[in-house]
Chain A
């Protein structure tokens, strides 16, 4: 039974391990995955704890449906206080790790303390061991995984690992599993590194009983048919996420030269079709691969086609690597993108943060705020492909003044670089924005401003807002399961009703993250994909638990509020440029210079943006300062947090 998977508390300082069941009343309040992680983080961390200290709990989980007979239940979630932002640290990845952890008997791990020497955790069929990692410390993310398999003589082991970046406490080091599945954002790899924890290895052959197996099987078939019939998923399954980059760049939604332009020109070499051709040339006609149980198969396979690393195998590149190592740095060359992607995968470093910070440093170099003396002679100008790749390595190994500063994150680096360097940094809550440019899309600007983990698209982005769907269709989607009668607009440059869209998406994404399902299987890129109305059946057939769509909505809202409570406790204030729900002044002051006719010249209107935030707070039940009203906490059953139920 999915519900009999356990939670383990592992203390790396003392070596103590405690295993507990997850009570049903906790499940009914927080389901599992990211939602329950947030509850655990709020309950197991103290205000102001050092993100890289032993008291910061590292929480690893699968969703309540992980490895059940539902579609694409591959996602692993990791949470802790972020060393990048000082606020919520949270990342989510595909692959095969969480299912293996579930077959090994566990849904949640709470890891505290710090191991005396490099260690890794091995979990197998209900047993947990802490093992010596001296032989794998220093290894790349993939070599670490293969070495663990060899050491334990089991090629079926799935591991969650850090690379050299995590060991070197680069504050945006990621955690990885497989070739390229990355829990990329907020520096969870540095938290692992700070605990001397190189990896968590899992192997399980324990049954997960399905409550109603035949019904689960048949419903899963229907679910998959719905998911694979969506045009957007067919395209994902052919071109991977690069197609999104191509589409977004065509109308002017891609940051270029840090934030100087909103469209990357002369990018033929990294258009989705060009990348796909390289994949086909190097890996053959069938070069897409999938995460556990997923029929979207959006992960392309490639070998680096040329240059010193020619022939090296990797997967992706995701659109984020096109953005990070192509557009933002104005180096739109396939080899640079593919090599950059490979390096961050091997080092275990967030591609979005890395590319974004390099492009920021390039703008500072252009402005004379940092000089070639600071870069030890490296010509850090936009368009310099070699400089991009060199900087990736320097950041990972903290070589030189500029790279070492960047490895501490954007805001601390801005204090090192001085002058007005902070003004050029495209971030929210200390986390750099991905490559997208939101100046023409107020809904997306609101999303990055209010996302619980900083500037990010995967916590509340209403991506379908870009499709200009008829208002009737929008209303059908956005007024279920909770009725919404307020205004909505099909126009992506508008501000009307966008606060509700972001609020709805925030709950939708929390829902899938609690279930452990991929966002490509819900209302993210495809407007017709399953959400609250469909999830109760999947949950019932697989676990036997009964929920209404409204109850699932409430759970999502509750879990989002728990994340908010954590952020407020750690210092979030509404308009604070470093820790608040606020975007860089450039969104308001510098108009879009490229793109479609209705995009050129646009900025975010500061007044209207403020109204959107007010509306968003109102939907969430927050006061004007962004703090929850007492009645909201009471309604969500959060009046007495931390409540230590688990």
Chain B
């Protein structure tokens, strides 16, 4: 079977801000509850009711990979993830500094960088997010899903305008 590239698709509008994704991420990877260890974090603007989950985008031209002086970061073509080889990692945190999404973390307890590994193909954040704010989809489909959502909004707007004019 063809190995289709799958990615996390985040829809912040659907996020309820509950942070269950942070909890299950830390429990799955480290066996503890601690958002500081979570690969995904929900950024909040509470006074506006806006919640945005932030996670690794597994970039094609990943800045973390480019900046790493020890060549410890590489692409896993099978899972389409960016991986850290801890045998090579020197803990300089250049990757943390350069990531445009803040998706590379540094765990000050274990003194190691850490990032999303898509749970080897079964992302727990997706599994536990009942509202579907985080989905795991074929990379090719992301654009069409976004098109559909945008179209729904356009339709709703035009429908409202039509109603107002009527």
Contact = CB atoms under 8 A, between A and B. Distances in A.
Contacts of B35: 103, 205
B27 A313 contact: no
Contacts of A207: 30, 32-34, 37, 109
A208 B46 contact: no
27 contacts: A69-B23, A69-B27, A103-B35, A103-B36, A142-B47, A179-B49, A205-B35, A205-B36, A207-B37, A208-B34, A209-B31, A209-B32, A221-B127, A286-B14, A286-B15, A290-B16, A292-B18, A292-B23, A293-B19, A293-B23, A295-B18, A295-B128, A295-B130, A297-B16, A301-B49, A313-B47, A313-B48
A294 B130 CA distance: 10
A210 B32 contact: yes
A146 to B, nearest CB: 7
Given A221-B128, A293-B23, A103 B13 contact: no
A89 interface: no
Contacts of B123: none
B95 to A, nearest CB: 20
Interface string B43-58: 0001111010000000
Interface of B: 13-20, 23-24, 27-28, 30-37, 46-49, 51, 108-109, 124, 127-128, 130-131
B31 A313 contact: no
A218 to B, nearest CB: 10
A146 B49 contact: no
A179 B47 contact: yes
B154 to A, nearest CB: 14
Interface centre among A293, A297, A301, A313 (most CB of B within 10 A): A293
Given A210-B32, A293-B18, A146 B130 contact: no
Interface string A275-289: 000000001111111
A217 interface: yes
Given A293-B23, A297-B18, A217 B130 contact: no
Nearest to A227: B130
Nearest to A288: B16
Nearest to A68: B33
A67 B32 CA distance: 10
A289 B23 CA distance: 17
Contacts of B108: 205
B33 A208 contact: yes
Given A208-B32, A221-B127, A289-B17, 10 more contacts: A69-B27, A69-B33, A205-B108, A207-B30, A207-B109, A210-B33, A283-B49, A290-B17, A295-B18, A295-B130
A216 B23 CA distance: 12
Interface of A: 67-69, 96, 103, 142, 146, 178-179, 205-210, 213, 216-217, 220-221, 224, 228, 283-295, 297, 301, 313, 315
A96 B30 CA distance: 22
B16 A178 contact: no
A289 B17 CA distance: 6
Contacts of B48: 313
Nearest to A71: B20
A301 B48 CA distance: 9
A357 B36 CA distance: 45
Contacts of B127: 221
Contacts of A220: 24, 128
Given A103-B34, A179-B46, A294 B27 contact: no
Nearest to B37: A207
B24 A224 contact: no
A-B pairs with lowest CB-CB distance, top 3: A290-B18, A205-B36, A213-B31
A461 B30 CA distance: 40
Nearest to A1: B32
B134 to A, nearest CB: 13
Contacts of B31: 209-210, 213
A289 B50 CA distance: 10
Contact of B33 (A67, A224, A294, A313): A67
Contacts of B24: 69, 217, 220
Contact of A210 (B27, B124, B128): B27
B20 A294 contact: yes
Contacts of A68: 33
Contacts of A103: 33-36
A186 B147 CA distance: 51
Nearest to A103: B34
B28 A289 contact: no
A289 B33 contact: no
Contacts of B34: 103, 205-208
Contacts of A228: 130
A222 to B, nearest CB: 12
A286 B13 contact: yes
B33 A284 contact: no
A213 B108 CA distance: 21
B124 A313 contact: no
Given A142-B47, A286-B13, A293 B20 contact: yes
Nearest to B156: A285
A291 B18 contact: yes
Contacts of B37: 207
Interface centre among B16, B28, B109, B131 (most CB of A within 10 A): B16
